[in-house]
Chains A and B, each alone.
Chain A
Amino acid sequence: MTTSQKHLDCRAYAPIDVVKGICHLTKETVLADDAACPSFDRQPKCRACRLYSPGEEAYVGACGATPDRPMTYPDLVAVTCEWFDWKDG
Chain B
Amino acid sequence: MERKLADILAQADAQLEYQAMGVARPQPTDREIVGEPCPRAKRLREIYYSALSSASNEFPHWYTRTYMTLDNEIPVVRRALALESAFRHLTPTILPGELLVMGKTHHVRGSFPSPWLSEGYYMAAEDELYQEALARGSASADEVSIFGAGGGNVTKSFGPVVSIAGKFGIRKEEVPTMLRVARAWEGKSVDDIGHKYEQMAPGYEIKEALMKSVACMFDSGYTLPQGREVINYYYPLQYGFDGLISKAEEKKREVAGRPDGDGLVGMNRLYNYEAAIHALKGVQAWILNYAREARRLEAMESEPAQRSEYAEIAACLEWIAHHPPRTFREALQLTWTLHVAVLNEDVISGLSPGRLGQVLWPWYEQDIAVGRLDEAQALEFLECLRVKYTCLDCFASMGVVGGVLSGNTFNNLSIGGLDRHGAPASNRLEELIIEAAMRCATTQPTLTLLYDDKLPESFLLKATECIKTGTGYPAIVNNRTAIEFLLGQYGPEEMDLEEARAIAIGGCLETSPCSWMPLSLNGETYWIPGGSGQPTSVGVHFLSLPKILELVLFDGVDQRTGLRVFPPHGRSLDAFEDVFDQVKAYFARAVEVLSLANNIQHDVWRKNNMAVLNSLLKPDCLESGHLINELGYRYNATHNVETCGTINLINSLAAVKSLAYDKKSVSLNELRLALSDNFGFKTADEVSSYSLAAQEKRGDSSEHDRTHFECLTAPKYGNDDPCVDGILREWEEWFCSMCRGYESLNAYPYYACQISVSTHAPMGAVTMATPDGRLAGTTFADASMSAYPGTDRNGPYALFASATCWDHAQSQNSQLNMKLHPSAIHGREGTKKLLELTRAYMHKGGFHIQYNVVDSRILRRAQENPDEYRDLLVRVAGFTQYWVEIGKPVQDEIIARTEYEGVGS
Task: Give the B-binding residues of A (Cβ under 8 A).
Answer: 12, 14-20, 22, 24-25, 27, 29, 32-33, 57-60, 66, 68, 70-77, 79-81
Contacts and interface: CB of A to CB of B under 8 A. Distances in A.
28 contacts: A12-B300, A14-B93, A14-B96, A15-B93, A16-B50, A16-B95, A17-B54, A17-B107, A17-B108, A17-B152, A18-B55, A18-B170, A18-B171, A19-B52, A22-B95, A24-B300, A24-B301, A32-B160, A59-B175, A60-B177, A66-B69, A73-B174, A73-B176, A76-B57, A76-B61, A77-B106, A79-B91, A80-B88
Contact of B160 (A19, A27, A80): A19
Interface of B: 47, 50-55, 57-58, 61, 65, 68-69, 88-96, 106-109, 152, 154, 159-161, 169-177, 180-181, 289, 297, 300-301
B106 A71 contact: no
A22 B95 CA distance: 7
A75 B58 CA distance: 10
B97 to A, nearest CB: 9
A23 B58 CA distance: 22
Contacts, number: 103
Contact of B94 (A14, A16, A33): A14
Interface centre among A16, A57, A66, A76 (most CB of B within 10 A): A16
Nearest to A70: B65
A19 B159 contact: yes
B275 to A, nearest CB: 21
B431 to A, nearest CB: 33
A13 to B, nearest CB: 9
Closest 7 interchain pairs by CB? A17-B52, A73-B177, A17-B54, A75-B173, A18-B54, A77-B91, A59-B176
A86 B57 CA distance: 22
A66 B403 CA distance: 42
B173 A24 contact: no
Given A33-B160, A68-B69, A76-B58, A14 B173 contact: no
A24 B298 CA distance: 11
Contacts of B93: 14-15
B52 A73 contact: no
Contacts of B159: 19, 33
B100 to A, nearest CB: 15
A72 B109 contact: no
Contacts of B171: 18, 75
B177 A72 contact: yes
Contacts of A72: 61, 65, 177
Contacts of A22: 47, 95-96
A18 B173 CA distance: 11
A74 B50 CA distance: 28
Contact of A17 (B169, B173, B175): B169
Contact of B173 (A20, A66, A73, A79): A73
Contacts of B108: 15-17
Contacts of A77: 58, 91, 106
A71 B180 contact: yes
Contacts of A14: 93-96
B885 to A, nearest CB: 15
Contact of A80 (B55, B91, B94, B172): B91
A80 B296 CA distance: 13
A60 B170 CA distance: 15
A80 B90 contact: yes
Given A17-B169, A18-B169, A60 B176 contact: yes
Contacts of B53: 17
Given A18-B169, A60-B176, A77-B58, 6 more contacts: A14-B96, A15-B54, A18-B52, A19-B160, A59-B174, A81-B89
B68 to A, nearest CB: 8
Contacts of A57: 176
A12 B302 CA distance: 13
Contacts of A20: 50
B96 A24 contact: yes
Contacts of A79: 91-92, 289
B161 A19 contact: yes
A24 B294 CA distance: 12
Contact of B161 (A18, A25, A75): A18
A20 B107 CA distance: 10
Contact of B107 (A16, A74, A81): A16
Contact of B180 (A27, A60, A66): A60
A9 to B, nearest CB: 11
A19 to B, nearest CB: 6
A86 to B, nearest CB: 17
Nearest to B154: A18
A12, A22, A73, A75 interface centre (most CB from chain B within 10 Å): A73
Given A14-B94, A15-B106, A15-B107, A74 B300 contact: no
A25 to B, nearest CB: 8
A77 B174 CA distance: 11
A59 B57 CA distance: 13
Nearest to A47: B173
Contacts of B61: 72-73, 76
Nearest to A23: B96
Contacts of A16: 47, 50-51, 95, 107-108
For B58, B93, B154, the residue with the greatest tally of chain A CB atoms inside 10 Å of its CB is B93
Contacts of B69: 66, 68, 70
Nearest to A80: B89
Nearest to A25: B300
A88 B104 CA distance: 32
A58 B92 CA distance: 26
Contacts of A18: 52, 54-55, 107, 154, 160-161, 169-171
A74 B55 CA distance: 17
Nearest to B301: A24
Contacts of B297: 24
B277 to A, nearest CB: 19
A32 B160 CA distance: 10
Which of A32, A33, A79 has the most CB atoms of chain B within a 10 A radius of its CB?
A: A79
Given A18-B161, A60-B177, A60-B180, A80 B289 contact: yes
A12 B154 CA distance: 26
A59 B173 contact: yes
B51 A17 contact: yes
Nearest to B302: A25
Nearest to B293: A79
Contacts of B68: 70
Contacts of B109: 17
A70 to B, nearest CB: 5
A73 B808 CA distance: 54
Nearest to B175: A59
A6 to B, nearest CB: 10
Nearest to B94: A14
Contacts of B91: 77, 79-80
A10 to B, nearest CB: 12
Contacts of B161: 18-19
B95 A75 contact: no
Contacts of B106: 15, 77
Contacts of A17: 51-54, 107-109, 152, 169
A29 B47 CA distance: 9
Contacts of A68: 69
A41 to B, nearest CB: 9
B798 to A, nearest CB: 48
A31 B51 CA distance: 12
Nearest to B65: A70
A53 to B, nearest CB: 14
B177 A59 contact: yes
Contacts of A58: 176
Nearest to A41: B300
Contacts of B94: 14
Nearest to B171: A18
Contacts of B152: 17
A24 to B, nearest CB: 6
Contacts of A81: 89
Contacts of B51: 16-17
